[in-house]
Amino acid sequence: AGDFASWIGSSAAVIGFASPQDQLRLFDIGRQAQNMMIAAHAEGVGTCPVTLGHPDLARAAVGLPDDWVMPMVITLGYPVADHPDSPLKRPRVALDELVRNDRWS
């Protein structure tokens, strides 16, 4: 469903977020996606949110009616710890490097 979407089909599961075109609520879809990703993480499942760049291809891929859109999907799967790009190997950034109190420093 887009130029960078070829890998999506190899995911263990894919959840699509669809809405009638005239009632598109991107904020609500984002909150739904966030909550699903938090719940998946709590169960040890990895996720990746994907914005779909070609709505017509996405619509055709899942058989949505012409007046519906699917702006994003979430892919799910179990992370592979020994993969060279695994985020499981990266140390966390210290909180004091991310959080600023009262001003930028």
If 0-12 CB within 10 Å is exposed, 13-18 middle and 19+ buried, where does residue 45 land? middle
Strand, helix or coil for residue 30: helix
DSSP-assigned letter for residue 84: T
Please state, in angstroms and rounded to a whole number, the distance separating the CA atoms of residues 48 and 27.
18
pLDDT tens column, 29-73:
999 999 999 999 999 999 999 988 888 888 898 999 999 989 899
Q: Is 8 exposed, middle or buried (0-12, 13-18, 19+ CB in 10 A)?
A: middle
With a CB cutoff of 8 Å and minimum separation 6, the contacts of 21 are 67, 68, 69
- What's the whole-model pTM score? 0.73
pLDDT digits (tens, 9 = 90+) for 74-90: 999 998 877 776 666 67
Q: What is the pLDDT of residue 63?
A: 94
CATH of domain 8-80: 3.40.109.10
> Cβ-count burial of 69 within 10 angstroms (0-12 exposed, 13-18 middle, 19+ buried)?
buried
| Token pair for 101 | 């109190």
